[in-house]
Amino acid sequence: MKAAMIFDMDGTLFQTISILEASLHDTFQRLRDEGMWRGDTPLEIYREIMGVPLSVVWKTLLPRHPLHIHGKVNDIFHEKLIDNIQKGNGALYPHTEEILAYLSGRGFPIFVASNGYPHYLKAIIESFHLDQWILDCYSIQEIHSDDKGELIRKIKEDHNLTHGVVIGDRLSDFKGAEANHFLSIGCAFDFSQEKELSEADIVIGDLLEVKEYLEVMK
C-alpha cells in the first residue's frame, strides 16, 4: 500500500486568510453591538496563533471573557466562516486540485486532519468538490484531546496505515507526524513560522513540490 497523504486544511489546502479577516471582523462587530467588546478586531493576534485548537483561540483573544461566551463567539465565528465559503469568497491554495488529483490517480490514499470543526470542514469540501479525491476528513472534535498527533493516530488506526506523510503548516502537524513515525512536509504559506518549519522533515513553497518529491523517491 502506498503512503497515506494526510493534509491539514487551514493554511495548507484552504486559504483561510481569504475569508478570515471578514469573518473575524463580523464576529467582533457582533460582540461590539452586544456591548461585549471595545476596540479593534484582534486580527494580528489571531494570525500569530492560527492553527491552534479553537478553544485556545478564544482563550487568547478573549482572556477576560467566561467560557460560555467563548462558546457563543465560536458559534458566531463559524457561522460567518461558512457563510463566506458558501458565498464563494474562499479560495484553495494554488495547485491544490492538481496535487490531489495526481496523488489520487496514483493510488495514494488522501485524508484531512484538521483542528477545524466538522461543519466548517464539510463546507469547504463540498464547495470545492474535494471529496472526489479525499477519502475521509477528520476533525479534532472527534477525539477527546487537542493533540494533533492523537487525531493522526486515529486515522492511522481506522485505516490500518503502516506509513504516511503529513502535510501541514504548523508545529502541531510536524509533531503529530513524528509521534506516528510519519514523514512531515511543511508548507511555507501564510500562517507558517520559520522556527516551526525547521521541525518539518521537508519544507515546500508550493504544493506541486509534493509531486516532485515523490517522483524523486521512486
Q: Rounded to an integer, what distance in angstroms lies between the CA atom of residue 136 and that of residue 155?
A: 9
Residue 188: pLDDT over 90: yes
Residue 102: pLDDT over 60: yes
SS3 20: helix
Q: Quick one: DSSP state of residue 187? A: E
pLDDT tens digits for range 59-78:
999 999 999 999 999 999 99
Residue 218 pLDDT:
56
pLDDT class of 194 with cuts at 50, 70, 90: very high
Residue 53: pLDDT over 80: no
Q: Rounded to an integer, what distance in angstroms lies between the CA atom of residue 13 and that of residue 7?
A: 7
Question: Is the distance from CB of 168 to CB of 10 less than 8 angstroms?
Answer: no
Question: Is the distance from CB of 131 to CB of 125 less than 8 angstroms?
Answer: yes
Most confident of 40-44, 106-110, 114-118: 106-110
- Residue ranges of the domains in the chain? 4-15+91-216, 17-86
pLDDT tens digits for range 120-151:
999 999 999 999 999 999 999 999 888 999 99
Picking from 217, 3, 7, the residue whose alpha carbon sits closest to that of residue 107 is 3
Residue 217: pLDDT over 70: no
Average pLDDT of the residues in 17-40: 92
Average pLDDT of the residues in 160-174: 96
Spell out the residues 6+ positions from residue 196 whose beta carbon is closer than 8 angstroms to its own.
170, 171, 174, 186
Domain 4-15+91-216 is found in CATH 3.40.50.1000: yes
Residue 51 pLDDT:
62
What residue type is 9 in one-letter code?
M
Q: What is the H or E stretch that residue 132 is in?
A: none
Q: What is the H or E stretch that residue 207 is in?
A: none
Residue 1: pLDDT over 80: no
Question: Is the distance from CB of 107 to CB of 2 less than 8 angstroms?
Answer: yes
Residue 189: pLDDT over 90: yes
Geometric angle at alpha carbon 10, from 22 and 38, rounded to 5°: 35
